[in-house]
Amino acid sequence: MKNMIYKSKIGDIDLTKVTKLYPAAVVNAHGEVAEMSLEWADLNGNKVEITSYVLVFDFTLPKQEERDKKELHFNTKDELIAAMQEVSQFYQD
């Protein structure tokens, strides 16, 4: 079986247990901080302050109430894209 442990700056992440994996932009809109899709951030980036980018590894099982996730934070979209490319290597044959 292929090794599916991603060694990140926050520690080892077992990709076999990830139920959702997604990128997001962290935005500050008039004091409200939220994670938004990259597409939304691209369309609305001139209306909000993009404070950082995240790659979210969600381990939450269906019907599990408590969220179980890890987030990698990045200063730039380019850093986020580079990390996404690293992670994608685990999912290729």
Residues 6+ apart with CB under 8 A from 28: 48, 49, 51
Which domain covers residue 47, as residue numbers? 5-91
Position 19 scores a pLDDT of 95
Are residues 25 and 48 in contact, defined by beta-carbon separation less than 8 angstroms? no
Residue 76: predicted pLDDT: 96
Torsion of CA 29, 80, 92, 6, to 10 degrees: -110
Measured CA to CA, the distance from residue 40 to residue 47 in angstroms comes to 11
Whole-model pTM over 0.75: yes
Q: Within a 10 A sphere around the Cβ of 54, how many other Cβ atoms?
A: 19
At 9-39, the pLDDT tens digits run 999 999 999 999 999 999 998 888 999 999 9
Write the pLDDT tens digit of every residue in 50-92: 999 999 999 999 898 999 999 999 999 999 999 999 999 988 8
Phi, psi of 85 (to 5 degrees): -65, -40
Q: Considering its fold, how many domains does the chain have in total?
A: 1
